[in-house]
Amino acid sequence: MKAEITMSQLYYNGSLMNFFFRDQAKRTLEDLIERAKESTQVVLDAIEDYADEYMDGDLDTLEETFYEESVEDIADYIGVELEDEEEEDE
Q: At residue 22, does pLDDT exceed 70?
A: yes
Number of folded domains that form the chain = 1
**Residue 54: beta bridge partners?**
none
Q: Is residue 66 part of a domain?
A: yes
Tell me what percent of the residues of the chain surpass a pLDDT of 70: 93
Q: Is residue 55 part of a domain?
A: yes
Whole-model pTM?
0.89
pLDDT of residue 28: 98
Q: Quick check: 81 and 32 in contact, CB under 8 A?
A: no
Q: Rounded to an integer, what distance in angstroms lies between the CA atom of residue 22 and that of residue 20?
A: 7
Q: At residue 89, does pLDDT exceed 90?
A: no
pLDDT, mean of residues 66-79: 98
pLDDT of residue 49: 97
Cα-based torsion angle of the residue sequence 84, 12, 47, 27 in order, rounded to the nearest 10 degrees: 50
Question: Containing domain of residue 31, as a range?
Answer: 20-78
- DSSP codes, 13-27: -HHHHHHH--HHHHH
